[in-house]
């Protein structure tokens, strides 16, 4: 039976009608939660990850960063705003004409000035802004990729914790049945009190293990609910996860792509600094009005003089070149890190896959055969009840160890599959 607790989800949707700013987002979340609320639905790993990405606040913040950078980029290549200038020139402050404006040199002036940037300099600034947008896009995709990974790991934890709870519950039932049978045999004088006491202690241990497994399952459910926003009990078995190649993993690793975008941004910033060796010109046109004298028009150009480029512009360019070199070195180091990370994860996955196969063949299968032999011998009164219980307990412990290995293998495979960007989703 599947149980879904969703009052928090419904309250969130209701809150959308109170706050119109989140209407669209709430509607999207409600549509995403609808399959979970329908009777008989089973949550799959892909559904959980998609739902987590849709409701992730970190992903939303990263998308807002992309929007901010894109809006900034739209204004990067624009000329500065023109400047309106107004004033009074040569106003006497002494004599008979003070503050009167009757002097021939007194003039009321209004004009406009504009700083002019060359097309190459504006293109360089646009390139910097575009590189910043790409950097924010990489951060946004990395945020979504991390959400998918964390959700996938939480999903696996819940799935395997539930499977372990089923195993320990089965062990508890076996311990209870064995104890009841021993008590019946004790009443008929075919069992000893020592056997009953031993099975009683075994049942107590089984109950404690069941309580611990149930607590671990609740903790895992809380972690999964943190990502998907609903507590879901019915999880589909995770399918086999394809492992990427080393080159694909490294090329699509979020840290590597972020480092590549840092290099692009640093290089664009360097080219922008290189254009600063050519100063920005400014032109100005003004109209002057005099009392009882002809009006005048003035036209002027301002050209900054780079009198010490070796001490200013060259130093700025050298600083940008050093930052570009730093970004390139960080990219190389990040690439090495991603390569080593892939090899460790791939080696761990291969090692765990081998252990799972060996453990299933060399431990679990013989334990199951031992239980079958003990059951046949017990039914023919050839072995005591404790022998059958011990064989069952050994089999369940072997299955629990196998389950733990399968969980570790699934987590390693999930890290390989979800830690890097999905093919075709590279920003």
Q: What is the DSSP letter of 138?
A: H
Say whether 105 sits in a helix, a strand or coil. Answer: coil
Looking at the structure, tell me whether residues 10 and 139 fall in a common domain.
no
Looking at the structure, tell me whether residues 176 and 136 fall in a common domain.
yes
The answer to whether 380 and 316 have CB atoms below 8 angstroms apart is no
Q: Is 157 a domain residue?
A: yes
Looking at the structure, tell me whether residues 35 and 129 fall in a common domain.
no
Say whether 106 sits in a helix, a strand or coil. Answer: coil
- So what's the pLDDT on residue 154? 93
- Helix and strand numbers (H, E) in the chain are 11, 6
Q: What is the DSSP letter of 50?
A: H
Looking at the structure, tell me whether residues 123 and 23 fall in a common domain.
no
Instruction: Give the CA-trace dihedral at 208, 210, 215, 216, to 10 degrees.
Output: 110
**Adjacent-strand bridge partners of 43:** 235
Q: Is 423 a domain residue?
A: no
Please enumerate in sequence order all residues whose Cβ is within 8 A of that of 275, keeping only pairs 6 or more positions apart, or say none.
Answer: 118, 120, 121, 124
* Whole-angstrom distance, CA of residue 375 vs CA of residue 37: 44
- Tell me the two tokens of residue 7: 């009052």
Measure Cα distances from 348 to 81, 343, 411 in Å. Answer: 60, 8, 10
Looking at the structure, tell me whether residues 216 and 240 fall in a common domain.
yes
Looking at the structure, tell me whether residues 325 and 188 fall in a common domain.
yes
Neighbours of 347 (CB within 10 A): 11
Looking at the structure, tell me whether residues 62 and 104 fall in a common domain.
yes
* Whole-angstrom distance, CA of residue 198 vs CA of residue 411: 38
What is the distance in angstroms between the CA of the first residue and the CA of the last residue of the chain? 42
**Adjacent-strand bridge partners of 284:** 113, 300
* Whole-angstrom distance, CA of residue 342 vs CA of residue 336: 10
Please enumerate in sequence order all residues whose Cβ is within 8 A of that of 212, keeping only pairs 6 or more positions apart, or say none.
Answer: none
- So what's the pLDDT on residue 19? 41
Measure Cα distances from 208 to 159, 168, 183 in Å. Answer: 21, 9, 21
CA dihedral sign, ordered 253, 255, 256, 260:
positive
Looking at the structure, tell me whether residues 354 and 217 fall in a common domain.
yes
Domain count, the chain: 2
* Whole-angstrom distance, CA of residue 424 vs CA of residue 427: 9
Q: Is 425 a domain residue?
A: no
* Whole-angstrom distance, CA of residue 271 vs CA of residue 149: 37
Per-residue pLDDT of the chain (427 residues; tens, 9 = 90+): 344 343 333 333 333 333 444 445 545 554 555 555 454 578 889 889 988 888 888 878 888 888 888 888 888 888 888 999 998 888 888 777 777 767 778 888 999 998 888 888 888 888 988 998 998 888 888 888 899 999 999 999 999 999 888 888 887 776 666 665 656 555 555 555 666 566 666 677 777 778 888 888 899 999 999 888 888 878 888 888 888 899 999 999 999 999 999 999 999 999 888 888 888 889 999 998 887 788 889 899 988 887 877 778 888 889 989 999 999 999 999 999 999 999 999 999 999 999 999 999 999 999 989 888 888 887 887 877 677 777 888 888 899 899 999 999 999 999 999 988 765 455 5
Q: Is 427 a domain residue?
A: no
* Whole-angstrom distance, CA of residue 408 vs CA of residue 400: 12
The answer to whether 307 and 120 have CB atoms below 8 angstroms apart is no
Residue 139, domain CATH = 1.20.1600.10
User: Among all chains, which residue has been given the structure tokens 């989703």?
Assistant: 425
Q: Is 347 a domain residue?
A: yes
Please enumerate in sequence order all residues whose Cβ is within 8 A of that of 333, keeping only pairs 6 or more positions apart, or say none.
Answer: none
Looking at the structure, tell me whether residues 96 and 181 fall in a common domain.
yes
90 φψ region: left (φ > 0), alpha (ψ -120 to 50), beta (else): left
CB-side neighbour CA atoms (13 Å) of 370: 17
Looking at the structure, tell me whether residues 27 and 100 fall in a common domain.
no
* Whole-angstrom distance, CA of residue 230 vs CA of residue 48: 10
Q: Is 10 a domain residue?
A: yes
- So what's the pLDDT on residue 14? 34
* Whole-angstrom distance, CA of residue 79 vs CA of residue 258: 30
Please enumerate in sequence order all residues whose Cβ is within 8 A of that of 60, keeping only pairs 6 or more positions apart, or say none.
Answer: 25
Phi, psi (degrees; rounded to nearest 5) at 325 = -65, -40
**Adjacent-strand bridge partners of 286:** 111, 298
Looking at the structure, tell me whether residues 348 and 322 fall in a common domain.
yes
* Whole-angstrom distance, CA of residue 167 vs CA of residue 40: 24
* Whole-angstrom distance, CA of residue 387 vs CA of residue 426: 59
Say whether 1 sits in a helix, a strand or coil. Answer: coil
Looking at the structure, tell me whether residues 47 and 31 fall in a common domain.
no
- Tell me the two tokens of residue 107: 């003039």
Q: Is 121 a domain residue?
A: yes
Say whether 284 sits in a helix, a strand or coil. Answer: strand
Q: Is 315 a domain residue?
A: yes
- Tell me the two tokens of residue 290: 């005099």
Please give the residue range of the domain that contains residue 37: 1-41
* Whole-angstrom distance, CA of residue 232 vs CA of residue 254: 30
């Amino acid at each position: 039976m599947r149980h879904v607790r969703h009052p928090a989800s419904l309250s969130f949707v209701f809150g959308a009608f109170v706050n119109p700013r989140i209407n669209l987002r709430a509607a999207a979340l409600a549509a995403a939660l609808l399959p979970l609320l329908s009777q008989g639905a089973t949550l799959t790993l892909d559904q959980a990850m998609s739902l987590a990405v849709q409701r992730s606040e970190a992903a939303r913040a990263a998308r807002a960063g992309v929007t901010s950078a894109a809006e900034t980029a739209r204004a990067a290549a624009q000329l500065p705003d023109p400047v309106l200038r107004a004033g009074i020139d040569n106003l006497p402050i002494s004599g008979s004409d003070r503050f009167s404006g009757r002097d021939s040199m007194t003039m009321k002036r209004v004009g406009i000035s504009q700083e002019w940037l060359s097309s190459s300099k504006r293109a360089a600034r646009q390139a910097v802004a575009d590189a910043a947008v790409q950097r924010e896009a990489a951060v946004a995709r990395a945020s979504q990729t991390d959400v998918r990974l964390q959700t996938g790991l939480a999903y696996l934890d819940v799935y395997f914790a539930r499977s372990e709870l089923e195993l320990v519950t089965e062990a508890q039932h076996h311990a209870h049945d064995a104890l009841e049978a021993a008590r019946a045999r004790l009443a008929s004088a075919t069992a000893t009190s020592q056997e009953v006491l031993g099975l009683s202690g075994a049942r107590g241990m089984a109950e404690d293990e069941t309580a611990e497994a149930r607590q671990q399952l609740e903790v895992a459910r809380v972690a999964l609910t943190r990502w998907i926003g609903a507590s879901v009990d019915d999880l589909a078995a995770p399918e086999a996860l394809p492992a990427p190649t080393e080159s694909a993993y490294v090329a699509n690793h979020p840290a590597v792509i972020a480092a590549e975008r840092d290099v692009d941004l640093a290089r664009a910033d360097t080219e922008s600094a290189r254009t600063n060796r050519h100063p920005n010109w400014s032109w100005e046109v003004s109209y002057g009005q005099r009392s009882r004298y002809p009006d005048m028009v003035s036209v002027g150009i301002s050209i900054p003089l780079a009198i010490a480029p070796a001490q200013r512009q060259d130093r700025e360019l050298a600083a940008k070149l050093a930052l570009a070199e730093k970004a390139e070195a960080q990219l190389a180091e990040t690439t090495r890190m991603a390569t080593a990370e892939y090899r460790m994860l791939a080696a761990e996955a291969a090692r765990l896959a081998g252990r799972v196969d060996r453990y299933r063949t060399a431990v679990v299968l013989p334990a199951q055969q031992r239980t079958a032999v003990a059951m046949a011998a017990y039914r023919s009164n050839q072995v005591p009840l404790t022998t059958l219980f011990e064989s069952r307990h050994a089999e369940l412990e072997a299955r629990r160890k196998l389950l733990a290995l399968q969980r570790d293998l699934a987590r390693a495979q999930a890290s390989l599959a979800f830690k890097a960007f999905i093919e075709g989703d590279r920003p």
